[in-house]
């Protein structure tokens, strides 16, 4: 490929990069999005699409939202089931603005393909598959990318290339921090039964994994996404063999062993490392900005990242239009992007970090789940907060603490 010059070069065709490209489709800018793989492509993930994720779809594209409504490769999930090591259980039905709503569970290989099909509607945006970034650098005039398909230049780069982002490493000098990353394992199973009739996703807080958790998410055709996640530094410190722990819990734990007695794995265990938002950090510089996992925008507690990836893609598109409007791509100007990202997301991350501290203490966590499981009014309070991420700060209020203790 001969050397190419673009207005915007998006590195990575996951939810963040694809959302950014779709939102810029009517801008008139010369845009390319490159990825080291081609579609369909898989990613290790819990496959859960939260209410927040679903609410993003119409804000990305009306046709994308319509396509998702018709999409067959998904299963509606109307809530969350939380189980402690002691077997105490409480559920969180999904509501949005007082109305019962559902999130979904959808394999990432299918969801990302849906986003990609929306991108393909805009044939003027160039997609370059199987193109690996080898190096990146910026000057006052251009950003320059070296790839396996040649040199590419752009006025600005969007780093949407995931946890191991080459853009973050080459331009941002960022290294993965074990204290700020989650290691996750996933395996698909078939013949898994015993789900709630409304297909609740399930989270298990077992002492072997704290402050992490094991998940079981229902999928179509009696399949399930089963996995676990834990802060990387804790897994290393405790010398936890995650694959053995997952297998052992499914086979022996009293709340799981009967359900998995006849379950059949559909794949070997897949693993991934996810940078999480444990602290505010620079996510931009001269002629580049970072989105999604490349910016470390995964929730520290739940490990959920799709909604914030899509949100960051939308914010990135808005900011890029501003860059071109003012013909300004400097580090100082791009700090506006950082501020807007954290204005929209930091409250959620702050609350998650506080609750993560509780999860370090098995006795305290078991106490909380036990209390919540016995108090419907407390469950209602949590439902109201979870329905709107901007209201999560209520969970650390005096009112919430009082309801638990009384």
DSSP string, 301-326: TT---HHHHHHHHHHHHHHHHHHHHH
pLDDT of residue 217: 96
- The CA distance from 194 to 202, in Å, is 11
pLDDT of residue 378: 67
pLDDT at residue 340 greater than cutoff 60: yes
Residue 296: band (very low, low, confident or very high) from pLDDT cuts 50, 70, 90: very high
Q: Where are the domains of the chain?
A: 4-76+107-177+277-355, 179-275, 361-405
Span 309-318, pLDDT tens digits = 999 999 999 9
Span of 9-13, 278-282, 382-386 with lowest mean pLDDT: 382-386
CATH fold of the domain at 179-275: D-Amino Acid Oxidase; Chain A, domain 2 (3.30.9)
- The CA distance from 201 to 234, in Å, is 25
**Mean of the pLDDT values across residues 151-158?**
96
Span 91-112, pLDDT tens digits = 888 766 667 788 999 999 999 9
In this structure, what token pair is assigned to residue 98?
């007082």
Residue among 281, 335, 304, 268 at smallest CA distance from 80? 304
In this structure, what token pair is assigned to residue 242?
């995650």
Residue 1: band (very low, low, confident or very high) from pLDDT cuts 50, 70, 90: very low
Q: Is 381 helix (H, G, I), strand (E, B) or coil?
A: helix
Span of 154-158, 366-370, 395-399 with lowest mean pLDDT: 395-399
Check if the beta carbon of residue 144 is closer than 8 Å to that of residue 288: no
pLDDT at residue 389 greater than cutoff 80: no
pLDDT of residue 179: 82
Residue 117: band (very low, low, confident or very high) from pLDDT cuts 50, 70, 90: very high
Span 213-233, pLDDT tens digits = 999 999 988 899 999 999 898
pLDDT at residue 382 greater than cutoff 70: no
pLDDT of residue 365: 73
**Mean of the pLDDT values across residues 127-131?**
97
- The CA distance from 301 to 284, in Å, is 24
Domains 4-76+107-177+277-355 and 179-275 share a fold: no
Residue 386: band (very low, low, confident or very high) from pLDDT cuts 50, 70, 90: low
Sign of CA dihedral 364, 370, 375, 381: positive
- The CA distance from 31 to 354, in Å, is 40
**Mean of the pLDDT values across residues 172-188?**
86
**Mean of the pLDDT values across residues 259-284?**
92
pLDDT at residue 286 greater than cutoff 60: yes
**Mean of the pLDDT values across residues 148-154?**
95
> 211: cis peptide before it, omega within 30°?
yes
Q: Please give the CATH architecture assigned to the domain spanning 4-76+107-177+277-355.
A: 3-Layer(bba) Sandwich (3.50)
pLDDT at residue 383 greater than cutoff 50: yes
Reduced DSSP (H G I as helix, E B as strand, rest coil) percent helix, strand, coil of the chain, to 5: 40, 25, 35
């Amino acid at each position: 490929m001969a050397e190419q010059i673009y207005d915007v070069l998006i590195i990575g065709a996951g939810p963040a990069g694809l959302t950014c490209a779709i939102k810029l489709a009517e801008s008139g800018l010369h845009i390319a999005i490159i990825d080291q793989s081609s579609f369909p492509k898989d990613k290790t993930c819990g496959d859960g699409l939260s209410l927040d994720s679903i609410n993003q779809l119409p804000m990305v594209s009306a046709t994308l939202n319509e396509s998702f409504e018709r999409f067959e490769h998904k299963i509606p999930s109307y809530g969350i089931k939380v189980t402690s090591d002691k077997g105490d259980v409480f559920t969180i039905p999904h509501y949005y603005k007082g109305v019962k709503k559902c999130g979904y569970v959808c394999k990432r290989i299918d969801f990302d393909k849906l986003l990609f099909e929306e991108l393909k509607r805009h044939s003027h945006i160039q997609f370059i598959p199987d193109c690996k970034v080898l190096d990146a650098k910026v000057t006052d005039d251009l950003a320059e990318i070296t790839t396996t398909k040649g040199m590419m230049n752009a006025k600005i780069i969007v780093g949407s290339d995931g946890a191991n982002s080459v853009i973050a490493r080459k331009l941002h000098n960022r290294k993965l921090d074990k204290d700020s990353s989650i290691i996750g394992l996933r395996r698909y199973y078939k013949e898994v039964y015993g789900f709630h009739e409304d297909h609740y996703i399930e989270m298990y807080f077992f002492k072997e994994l704290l402050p992490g958790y094991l998940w079981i998410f229902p999928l179509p055709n009696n399949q399930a996404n089963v996995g676990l996640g834990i802060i990387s530094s804790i897994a290393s410190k405790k010398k936890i063999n995650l694959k053995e722990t997952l297998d052992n819990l499914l086979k022996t734990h009293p709340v799981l062993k009967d359900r998995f007695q006849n379950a059949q794995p559909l794949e070997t265990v897949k693993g991934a490392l996810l940078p999480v938002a444990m602290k505010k950090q620079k996510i931009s510089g001269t002629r580049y900005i970072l989105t999604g996992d490349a910016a470390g925008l995964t929730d520290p507690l739940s490990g959920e990242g799709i909604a914030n990836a899509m949100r960051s893609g939308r914010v990135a598109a808005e900011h890029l239009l501003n860059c071109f409007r003012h013909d300004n791509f400097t580090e100082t100007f791009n700090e506006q992007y950082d501020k807007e990202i954290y204005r929209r997301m930091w409250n959620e991350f702050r609350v998650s970090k506080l609750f993560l501290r509780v999860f370090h203490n098995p006795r305290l966590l078991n106490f909380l789940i036990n209390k919540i499981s016995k108090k419907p009014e407390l469950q209602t309070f949590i439902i109201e907060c979870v329905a709107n991420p901007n209201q999560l700060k209520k969970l650390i209020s005096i009112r919430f603490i009082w309801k638990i203790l009384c």
